[in-house]
Amino acid sequence: MQNYYHTFHIPVMGTGHSVDTPIRVAPLGITSVISLVDDILLEKIRKYYCNMYSMQYHRILKNTKDGRAKRITAYLETVGKIVQIKMENIKKQPFFKKNDKTKYFELLPDKSRLKIEYNKLLNMEAGLKRDFLAKDLTSRMLPGSIDVNIMVKLDRAYYDNIHDNIQPIIDEFSDAKAALRGYANSSLESAIVFSAGINQRLFDYMTCFKEFYRDKTGKSKKKIILKVSDFRSALIQGKFLAKKGLEVYEFRIESGLNCGGHAFPSNGFLLPSLLKEFKEKRDSLTAEFLPLIQKYYKKMGWEYPEKALSAKPVITLQGGIGIHGEDLRLREYFGMDLTGWASPFLLVPEATCVDASTRELLRHAGKEDLYLSDVSPIGVPFNNIRKCGSEIHTNKMIAKDTPGSRCAKGFLVSNTEFTKKPICLASKQYQKIKLEEIANMDISDKEKEQLSGKVVEKTCLCDHLGNGALIALGIADEKNSPQSICPGPNIAWYNRLYSLKEMVDHIYGRCPSLVPLKRPHMFAAEIVMYVDYFEKLATNSACTHVEIKRLYEFKNNLEQGMDICLDIAKMKPYHEENLASIPPCVEEQRKRLRDIYASFKENIIITITQKNKDNIPAMMAL
């Protein structure tokens, strides 16, 4: 239910790369997260693992009533059973042998009480006392939690044609609600992570499932984790849920840019600014939420358990952490309860499901190969790597003059520009119509080329993000399965494949660092990313009053964050923490930021002069 003994977890990575991570690492005590976006992918992988473990498999057909929810439930049940089988087998293994039981204890953090007592066992002489301790340690071995993730914005509705009017069918069967129902109906006692914003209809729907509420003993079978961008977001979402009696077990902060997958940049707020606010105000979260939760329980005629009165939300952070010293900075100085390490595990075959070709691409990737792209059909920046299978496939289709995908799954449909029923920006249907529209526009050929390029670069993430897992498991042929992967920029500092023990020892600072000591601090790296992003915003700005105001606030927030980073740089560094990289980075990037803003203000004058001279003084005050 929690990350019991470890101080880190492995976050969700795409639809496929952490799809079976719990099977791989949960029996060794490590918590990880499965994406629930692609139920078709989950069904294929369920079949694979049922065959591997001689478990009964009955295919749940695509057109089965409530099939999406049933496929998700079936997959999670299968994962849970396999983890249980593996866990029991490990518990039966003897101590003092080179086996997975020894590995389980060796992976534990050194300060863990269980690890301390294990080390005590190793130094005891044979006898009844040692046997008793061995039995006790075995009984306290717990698997990592099998957590799941829903991107709440991916909530496709399903449609029926009624008298030529396209109407959504029952809202209960939307993608996000079906995924939630699939998880709620599983026997897992774990947590669900809600990412990418707020979905009020989905949060309302959670009230249908008693598993998300506390029983008389104070326990809830299923816990709620919210991935948040800042304290305000945590407060708003937490209060919305609290009014329904739903408690947030964990607020999971993620860097807006120094992360993998889709990127959700803040308005210039750097991690140190966000962490400082959480550190100062975290106690107010409980004060805000608890009365609302108790009020709901009273309204429902339930008794709120006394044991739960002292419970406080767990606060964690993920995104760009690369070394033990940074992990300590987050946990010991900023008070984070746990941390999330994602992209480095893409190079750990024991932990993630990635095909060999893509792992090689990651292993050799430098900073210039990793970039924030516009390939996602949902219109959100997407962390990408050059020369991946998806990019090669997309370019081939463009060269053949047949851009776009056939949209077999449709999880990312959202556009109604040309149709009543939403379609995907990466689909052949949309791209054909849009390209024809651009071709008929009264603009220059260069402008047409630029607009067309933005259309055809959208790729089928529904399929491509899962293909790597299917190839790795031998379910799909690489030749016909373009692979997409979404690593964070931090992976540029990792250059080979690692064992699980190597990576965990690296996280806990028990071995020579796996990354060079010259690697810039995660806070310095994030500064550069945000100045890069600011430059992109300024360059593409239409100079409206709203955009000008936003860029002004963005710049000020970024400068304030830089000041906090400089204060941190004056502190004593943790183990191998490269605080020395922060001051020169701030100096260089602050100058760059101000130069970009000065150039932007010059463009404002030109633009406004052409439109309305009276607006210049007001605009230039920003």
Q: What is the pLDDT of residues 87-97, one digit of tens each?
A: 999 999 999 99
Instruction: Name which of 458, 521, 522, 487 is nearest 371 in CA terms.
Output: 487
Which structure tokens are listed for 384? 């990408």
Q: How confident is the model at residue 166 (pLDDT cuts 50, 70, 90)?
A: low
Three-state secondary structure call for residue 473: coil
**How large is the angle between the packed helices 39-52 and 67-92, nearest 10 degrees?**
40
Q: Residue 496 in 3-state DSSP?
A: coil
DSSP-derived secondary structure letter, 516: -
Partners of 262 in the β-ladder: 382
pLDDT-based confidence at residue 612 (cuts at 50, 70, 90): low
Give the span between the Cα atoms of 16 and 45, in whole angstroms: 10
Span 495-508, average pLDDT: 97
Rounded distance, CA 89 to CA 183, Å? Answer: 26
Rounded Cα–Cα distance for residues 74 and 519 (Å): 43
Segment 378-404, tens digit of pLDDT: 888 999 999 999 999 999 999 999 999
Phi, psi values for residue 297, rounded to 5°: -60, -40
End-to-end CA, the chain: 49
> Rounded to whole angstroms, how far apart are CA atoms 505 and 106?
9
> Three-state DSSP class for 580?
helix
pLDDT tens per residue across span 322-374: 999 999 999 999 999 999 999 999 999 999 999 999 999 999 999 999 999 99
Is the CB of residue 29 less than 8 Å from the CB of residue 6?
yes
- If you average pLDDT over every residue of the chain, what do you get? 92
Residue 1, pLDDT > 50, answer no
As a whole number of angstroms, the distance between CA 342 and CA 494 comes to 12
Residue type, 65: K
DSSP annotation string for 201-246: HHHHHGGG-GGGS--TTS--SSEEEEEESSHHHHHHHHHHHHTTT-
Strand order in the sheet with 223-228: 8-9, 338-340, 314-318, 248-254, 223-228, 191-195, 146-151, 32-35
Rounded to 5 degrees, what are φ and ψ at 166?
-80, 120
- Rounded Cα gap, residues 189 and 221, in angstroms: 5
pTM of the model: 0.92
Q: What is the DSSP letter of 323?
A: S
Alpha helices in 210-328 (DSSP H): 231-242, 271-300, 324-328
- Minimal CA–CA distance to 535: which of 527, 524, 545, 546? 527
The residue among 498, 500, 471 whose CA lies nearest residue 347 is 498
What integer pLDDT is reported at residue 163 of this predicted model? Answer: 46
Name residue 423's beta-bridge partners.
415
**C-alpha atoms less than 13 angstroms from C-alpha of 5 in its C-beta half-sphere:** 26
CB 10 within 8 A of CB 31: yes
Output the pLDDT for position 200. 87
Of residues 271, 384, 373, the one with CA closest to residue 320: 271
CA distances from 33 to 20, 81, 188, 233, 356 (A): 9, 16, 13, 22, 22
Give the residue, 497 or 380, on which the prediction is more confident: 497
Average the pLDDT over 4-15 and give the result: 93
| Contact predicate 337/331, CB 8 Å | yes
Asked if 449 and 435 count as a contact pair (C-beta separation under 8 A), the reply is no
pLDDT band at 168, cuts 50/70/90?
A: low
Quick one: CA dihedral 397, 400, 406, 410, positive or negative?
A: positive
275 pLDDT exceeds 50? yes
pLDDT given for residue 414 in this prediction: 84
